Amino acid sequence: MAGRYALRPVFAPKQSTAALTLLALGVVYGDIGTSPLYAVKETFNPEHGIPLTPDNIVGGLSTLFWMLTIVVTLKYVTLVLRADNRGEGGIMALLALASSSVRKHPQWTGPLLALGVFGASLFYGDAVLTPAISVLSAVEGLEVGTSAFKPYIVPLATGILAGLFLIQRHGTGVVGLLFGPVCAVWFGSLAAAGVWNIANNPQILVALNPVHALGFMTGHGFASFVVLGSVLLAITGAEALYADMGHFGKKAVRLAWFGLVAPALVLNYFGQGALLIANPKALENPFYLSYPSWALYPMVGLATAATVIASQATISGAYSITLQAIQLGYLPRMNIRHTSAATFGQIYIPAANWTLLVVVAAAVVGFGSSTRLASAYGVAVMGTMLVTTFLTFFVIRYGWRYPLWLCLLATGFFMLIDSTLFAAALLKIHDGGWFPLVLGAAVFTVMTTWHRGRVLLFERLRDSTVPLQPFLDSVSREPIMRVPGTAVFLTATPDATPHALLHSLKHYKVFHERMVFLTVEFRDVSWVPFEERVHCERLGHECWRVRIRYGFMNRPDIPQALELCGALGLELEPMETSFFLSRDKIVPGAGGEGMAAWRDRLFAAMARNAGNITDFFNIPTNRVIELGTRVEI
C-alpha cells in the first residue's frame, strides 16, 4: 500500500474477484467510508441557519442520498470508470488520455494540460486534509464519553498521524493485508447502527424521495446554497474509485460499491437522521451517539483504524501522483525507494512523505477541529472532481468519437452538479477554504515551472549541439584511438551529439570500440509492454541509437531494458559497459525570452536538488561517469 502505481501486475492476475473486492474495500473506499463521521454533523451545522426540524432532517438526508447516487454511482462508477488509460485511472492518467485524444485539435492541448495539472495540484490538498480531518474526527469521539479528553484530542491525533508517516519507509504491505477485513467490519458496523436507528424511527425512509432533496436545496434561500458546501463531504473520496481502477479492476470496484459500501453508507446516514428526529440534541456528534453507550470506545478504536486506512490510501495516492508527475516531466526526479522485493509497486518517496507530514501536522494544529477542517476540505475535493468531469468530456468526444449531443448530455449534468458544489465550497474560503487553494497554487507553480524550464533547457541544449550523424562520419575519418568496452551516452535529444561525448573526446582523446546513444522517453500511456519497450538502430562506425520507452506507471530500469537489445542485435556485457551522463548546471538568464526571473531561479534550485539520475534509472553507480555542462536559461 505504500504506493498505488503498480499494484495491478501483482493483484490482478493472481486474485479472485472476491479477494480483489475485499482488498478494494480498504484501498478504494477507506476515504469515502469514513465520511459518516462528520458529513451529517456538518450538514446540519446550526451556523447554516437551517432549523433542525423533522422536515429539514428528511430533506438533508435525501440530499445526501441523491448526491451519493448521482456523483458516485452514476458519474464515477458508471461513466468515469470507463475512461481508462490502458486499464489505469487517476487524474494524471486521464490528463494523458485527454491530451492524446485531442492531438488533431492542438488548440486544446495547452488549456487541458494547465487544467489537468491544476487538478493534480489540488489532489495534494486532498492528500493533506483527508488524514487530518479523518483522524481528528475519529479521536473526537472520546469527547462524547467525557470532556476530560478534550485537551488531548489534537495532540493524540497529531501523534497518530506522525506514527503513520514514520512507518511509511518500512513499507505497509503486511498492514495492507488487514485493511480489507478491518474495513469490512467497519462497513458492517455502519450498516448495523443504521438499521437499529431506522427501526426506531422508520419515517426517515421517506428521504428516498428526491422531492425532499429538491425542497431542502431550494426552500431556505441562500442557506440552501451554503449548506451544499457541507453536503459534499459525503462524496469525498469518490476520486479514489477512478484512481484505483487499474489496481483491482472495474468489476471488483463496482461489486464492492454496490454490494457493501453504498448500502452501508446509506443505512448509516439514514440512521443518523432517524436519531436526530428522535433526539435533536444528538447533533453534538450524531455518529457516535447513534451507537449504544457500551459501544462508544470500541467504535472510537474501530473509527481510528478506519481513518488510518483512509489516510494511508491518500498518502499512497500522493506517492503515486508524484511518481506520475515526475515521469511526465512535471516534477524533478526524487529519491524513490521500493519497499518490497516481491511487489515493486510498493514505493516510498521520502521528500513527499516528510513534506506531507509537516503540512498535515500544521493543518491539525492550526485548524484544531474536524468542523473547521471541513470548511477547507470541500474546495480541494470538488476542484479535482470538476477537472475530472471536464477532461472526461474530451475523452468521450475526441477519443471515443461519440456524438456531441451525447457527450454534452453525459458530462453536462455532472458538470452542473460539480460546479454548484465547488461554488458552494468557495463560500468557505475565509473559514479555511483558502488553505487547499494556496497549497494547490504552490504545487501548480512548481509543476508548471519545472515543465516549462525543461522545455527551455532542451531548446538551449539543442541550439548548442552538433548533429550526431555528421559528427560520427567526420570523426571516423580521423585516427582516433578506440578503447575496449561499450560507452552508453544518455541524451534527451537522440539526433544531437551528447555534451558528455564532446567533453569525453576533449579530455581523453579516445572513443570506445562501441558507443550507444540512449534516449529514455516517457509516453502518455500508463504502461508500455516489453515488446514495445526498446528500439535499436545502427548508425555505423560501431555506434547505435537506442530508444527506451516507458509509460508513466512503469518503473524505469535501464539495465533491464538494455537486456532486451540482445534480441535486436546489440549484445551488451554489463561489466564492460560504462554510462556517460551530462550533469547540467542551470544558470538563470538575464531576462528576455523564457520565464520570469523568479521562475528561472526556482527552476535552477529544483534542478540542483533533483534526485540522482543513476538511482532513478537504476544504473549501477560504479559504472557511471558524469561530465558537467553549464546551461543558461
Residue 269 is predicted with a pLDDT of 97
Give residue-wise pLDDT tens across range 600-622.
889 888 888 887 888 888 888 88
Residue 339 is predicted with a pLDDT of 63
Kindly tell me the burial class for residue 173, based on how many C-beta atoms sit within 10 Å of its own C-beta (0-12, 13-18, 19 or more): middle
| Cut 0.85: pTM above it | no
Give residue-wise pLDDT tens across range 548-600.
998 877 788 899 899 888 888 888 888 899 999 887 777 776 555 678 888 88
The domain ranges of the chain are 8-429, 466-632
Residue 120 is predicted with a pLDDT of 86
What is residue 83's DSSP assignment?
-
Average predicted confidence (pLDDT) for the chain: 84
Half-sphere exposure of 520 (CA within 13 A, CB side): 24
- The stretch 183-195 carries a mean pLDDT of 94
Q: Which residues pair with 355 in a beta bridge?
A: none
- The stretch 361-369 carries a mean pLDDT of 89
Task: Kindly report the backbone phi and psi dihedral angles of residue 84, in degrees, each rounded to the nearest multiple of 5, phi listed first.
Answer: -100, 150
6 — pLDDT class (breaks 50, 70, 90): very low
Residue 344 is predicted with a pLDDT of 43
CA distance 551 to 521: 8
- The stretch 430-447 carries a mean pLDDT of 89
| Edge-to-edge order in the sheet of strand 624-632 | 534-540, 543-550, 510-522, 481-490, 577-587, 624-632
5 — pLDDT class (breaks 50, 70, 90): very low
More confident residue, 427 or 171: 427
State how far the alpha carbon of 344 is from the alpha carbons of 75, 115, 119, 171, 545, in Å: 32, 31, 27, 11, 29
Tell me how crowded residue 481 is: count the other CB atoms within 10 A of its CB.
Answer: 9
Q: Which three cell numbers stand for residue 302?
A: 474501530
Query: Which residues are CB-neighbours of 85 under 8 A, at least 6 positions away?
Result: 93, 94, 96, 97, 525, 526
Which of 226-235, 407-416, 458-467 comes out lowest in average pLDDT?
458-467
Cα 363 vs. chain centroid, distance in angstroms?
19
Residue 93 is predicted with a pLDDT of 81
Give residue-wise pLDDT tens across range 24-40.
787 788 788 889 988 99
CA distance 57 to 243: 33
More confident residue, 393 or 96: 393
Residue 273 is predicted with a pLDDT of 95
Give residue-wise pLDDT tens across range 272-323.
999 999 999 999 889 999 999 888 889 988 988 888 887 877 787 788 788 8
CATH fold, domain 8-429, is Amino acid/polyamine transporter I (1.20.1740)
